[in-house]
Amino acid sequence: MTQYGEHSGLEKIDLQSKDMTNENIQQLAQLFPQVMTETMDESGRLRPAIDFDKLKQLLSHEIVEGQETYEFTWVGKRDAMAEAGRPTTKTLRPDIAESVNFDETENVFITGDNLEVLKILQESYLNKIDMIYIDPPYNTGKDFVYSDKFQMTQEEMDEATGSIDETGKRLVKNEKSNARYHSDWLNMMYPRLVLARNLLKDSGVIFISIDDNEQANLKSLCDEVFGEENFVSNIIWNSRKSVSNDAIVSINHNSTLIYSKNSDCFYSNKSNFVLKMTNDGFENPDNDKRGVWKADPFDSPGIRPNLTYEIKNPNTGESYMPPKGRCWRTGPDGFAELLSDNRIVFGKNGTSRPQLKRFFSEVEDKGLTPKSIWDDVGTATNGTQEILKLFGAKVFDTPKPTSFITKVIELGSLKDSLILDFFAGSATTADAVMQLNAEDGGNRKYILATLDEAVAEKSAAKEAGYETIDQISRERIRRAAAKLQAEKPDQVAGQDLGFKAYRLDSSNFKSVSQTPDQFEQGNLFDSVDNIKEDRTGLDLVYQIMLSWGMALSLKVSKENYQGYEVFDVDNGSLIACFDNHISDSLIQEIARKEPLRAVFKDQAFVDSSAKINLTQTFKELSPLTKVKVV
C-alpha cells in the first residue's frame, strides 16, 4: 500500500513520547551489528530486536550458565525495567487559568502522574537538566499513593514469591515485612529514576531525600541506575530537635543521597559544588587594612626537611618546631616574608605557636566545602511553621523547610541552572528557587510535577477549601512570590516569579498510532479530522512542541493572519495553523516568514493535490522549513 504522504511529500507527526527501548536497540546496533535480529510485535509487523545470547557471548570471555553474581533484585523488577522504556501517548495541556504570567514566565508546573510526565519530557529535556531534587514517598505505609500498571496483584506476588503452600494457604502474614511491601515501592521508583537520569546533563546531579525505612534499598537502586562510581555523598539532616523518650533510639535525622550523572564530568567541575562563604568567625582585632581574618595553623601534613626548622616567637623568645609528623607551610625565607607582611600571628595574646592569617577577601570566592552532617538548616518544624505563616493553617504535612532546600540548590546548581522536582509536594523547591534568586541575583528556573492527589476529608486543607495537593502547591508559589515582593521589592524586581501550569491528559488526537494499512486505498489522501472536539489550538501546539523536542518554557504567541488563527512559537521556531480550510495566500504568507517548522491540520486540505501545492509552496519560498500535518 502507498505510504501516507508519499505523493504529497508530507509526514504525520509522531505523537508518542520517545521510545527509549528502541533508542537503546539502535545504539547497540551501531556498536554490535552482529547481535541484531527481528521479532514480531503485537500487530504482526517485524521489528529490530537483540539476540541476547550473542550479546552475552560478545561481552564475555567465557559463558558460565547459572553463575552467581552480585545483584540487587526484587519481585517485579523486570517489568519495572521494561516500563522505563515504554512510550506514552499522553500529553500536557496548558492551564492558563492556574498559571501566573503564562506568556512571559519560563518556570513550569505540571499536574499529573510523574512517570508519564517524565516520559513526555524525554524529547524536550534530554540531557538539559542541571539539578534534580526529589522527596519521594518514604513508604511508611501512609504516603505511598502512586499506582503503576506494572504493580503486581496479591495473587501475582504470591505466585512469584512462593508465599502460598500447596493447599493455597498464605505463608506470609506481615504486610510490611513481606516482599510486596518493598517491591511495590522499588517498582514505582525504578523507572522514574531511569528516566530522570536521561534528563540530567553530564555535569548534572540529583539529590534524593529519604528516611531509614527505604534508605538502604534506595542506595542500592541508585547504585544500579546511576552507577556506584557516581555516588557523591549521603547527607544527614538533623531534622528534629526533640527527643522521643518512648523510643529505644530517638530518630532525629533524614538522609539525602547525592549522585552525579557522570563522575568524571562532575568532579572536573567540583569548584561549583561548594557553599557560599560567610564571614562568620572572621575578625579584625588589629585593624588590618585587608579586612577581617581567621588564624589558621602554620603547619601542614607530611615531613619535608626543607620545611622543618625552628621558629622563634619574637614576643616571648620561645622556639617552636613543627608538630610530630608535620612541617611548616613555607621555608625560612617564605616565613620571613609573611612575618614582615603582618600575616603571621602568635595566638590571641602573642604568646603561642605561629599561625597564618587567612583573610576573608582572599577566600570568599573559593566557597566552603560542604559537610555530610547538616544541623544548621532548620528542622521539619520550621517547614510546618512556614506553611502556617503563608496559609494560616497546616494545609500540608511534613514539608521541608526552605532553608534546607535552599542549601541543596545552592550546592547543586549555578545561578542560571534548570532545576527539576517531580515529587513537588507543597512546592518548597519553587519557593527556595525564588528566595535564592532574590538573594544572589540568579536566574534559576524550575520544572515541578505533582499528583492531583485528594486531600484528606477531615483536614485543615479541606477546611481551607483545597481539594487536591496540586492546588496547595500552586497557591504556595503565588503566596511565596507575593511575600518576596512585599519584603524585598528591590531584590525581586525583574525576577521571574510566575509559572506556566500544565495538566497531564490523554492525547489531543483521536488516533495517535494510525498506520497506512488502516486507510482505505481510495481514501488515502482524503481529509481526516483526527482532533478531539474539546481541544484547543493551544493544546495542539504544546503537544506538537513536545513531540518535536521543544521546551515548555518557550514563548507562544497567537496571531491573526488574514483572519486565520496562527500560533508562532519562539519567533519562528514553529508556526502552526489548525483552521479547517486555509487559503493559498495564507500558506504563502507563512512560508515567507521562513519558519524552522510549520504544521497544519490534515483536514485543511481537501485532497492530495492541495497537499502537493503546500509542499511546492514551501520548496519555493522556504525550502529549509520542515512541514508536517496532524
The whole-number pLDDT of residue 34 equals: 55
Cβ partners under 8 Å of residue 246, min gap 6? none
On whether the CB atoms of residues 479 and 102 are closer than 8 A, the answer is: no
The per-residue DSSP string of 124-157 comes to: HHTTTEEEEEE-----SSSS-----TTPPPHHHH
In degrees, rounded to 5, the angle at the alpha carbon of residue 16 between the alpha carbons of residues 14 and 20 is 110
Cβ partners under 8 Å of residue 27, min gap 6? none
Scored b (16 or more CB within 10 A) or e, 280-308 reads eebeeeeeeeeeebbbeebbeeeeeeebe
Which CATH superfamily is 93-153+185-241+251-262+373-504 part of? Vaccinia Virus protein VP39 (3.40.50.150)
d(CA 72, CA 64): 20
The whole-number pLDDT of residue 234 equals: 96
pTM over 0.75: yes
On whether the CB atoms of residues 25 and 32 are closer than 8 A, the answer is: no
Helix (H, G, I), strand (E, B) or coil at 567: strand
Q: Could you list the beta-strand ranges (E) of 165-230.
A: 200-210
Q: How many CB atoms lie under 10 A from the CB of residue 410?
A: 19
The whole-number pLDDT of residue 232 equals: 94
The whole-number pLDDT of residue 78 equals: 86
On whether the CB atoms of residues 459 and 472 are closer than 8 A, the answer is: no
Among 442, 435, 373, 438, smallest CA distance to 413 is for 442
Give the dihedral sign, CA 414/420/426/427.
Answer: positive
pLDDT < 70: residue spans in the chain: 1-10, 32-35, 40-45, 54, 57-58, 60-70, 141-179, 270-271, 277, 365-366, 512-528
> How does pLDDT run across 133-175, given as a tens digit for each residue?
999 998 876 555 555 544 455 555 555 444 444 444 443 333 4
Q: Where are the alpha helices (DSSP H) in 250-347?
A: 263-268, 332-340
Residue 531: beta bridge partners?
Answer: 509
The whole-number pLDDT of residue 37 equals: 75
Burial (CB count <10 Å: 0-12, 13-18, 19+), residue 553:
middle
Q: What is the identity of the amino acid at 100? A: V
Greatest Cα pair distance, the chain, in angstroms, is: 107
On whether the CB atoms of residues 300 and 326 are closer than 8 A, the answer is: yes
- Residue whose cell numbers read 520544572: 447
The whole-number pLDDT of residue 60 equals: 63
The per-residue DSSP string of 12-54 comes to: E---SPP-HHHHHHHHHHHH-GGGEEEEE-TTS-EEEEE-HHH
The whole-number pLDDT of residue 44 equals: 64
Domain boundaries, the chain: 15-69, 93-153+185-241+251-262+373-504, 293-366, 516-629
d(CA 439, CA 603): 52
On whether the CB atoms of residues 79 and 417 are closer than 8 A, the answer is: no
